[in-house]
Structure formats: structure tokens, C-alpha cells
Amino acid sequence: MAANVEVYTWSTCPFCIRAKALLDKKGVEYTEYVIDGDESARAQMAERASGRRSVPQVFVNDQHIGGCDDLYALNAKGGLDPLLAG
């Protein structure tokens, strides 16, 4: 079963674009929440992300992965593909 991947983004954020590019390259389907200027959505994201308010914030099967750098670091260590496999 494919993993449930969720990404909180701002539409013009270069780090969000990079994170989505990695997921796209891997052929991952994900739900994107574009929260441009929506403070209540950002607060909800921060609650899920242990207080982190920067974007993007990535979740795989409700597990908080972190931001763009965290996603790329996890991928470099070989830890992303097993999570994505479900």
C-alpha cells in the first residue's frame, strides 16, 4: 500500500518547490496543502509539526519528516524509500 504523504507549502516558496520536486521524481502521490497567508492553517500545521512554522513541512503516514533539508537528508541516508513503500 502506498504511503500517505502530506506536504504543507506556500506556492512561491523555493524550498517547497524543491521538496515537491524530490517527491515528484520518486513518483510519489501526495496531498498538498497550500497555506499562503492562512494563519489558522499554519497554526494547525505547526501543531502537527512540533511547533515548526516554516514551510514546507512533510508528513509520511502521519509521521513528521520535517522541512526540505530534512527530506533530502533522509533520502540521502536511504531512509525515505522504505517510508514511502508503506
pLDDT band at 2; cut points 50, 70, 90:
confident
Is the pLDDT at 1 greater than 80? The verdict is no
- pTM exceeds 0.85 for this model: yes
2 forms bridges with which residues in the sheet? none
Q: By CB neighbour count within 10 A (0-12 exposed, 13-18 middle, 19+ buried), where does 47 fall?
A: exposed
Task: List, for residues 8-57, the tens digit of each pLDDT value.
Answer: 999 999 999 999 999 999 999 999 999 999 999 999 999 999 999 999 99
Question: What structural domains does the chain harbor?
Answer: 5-84 (3.40.30.10)
CA–CA distance, 11 with 64 (Å, rounded to integer): 21
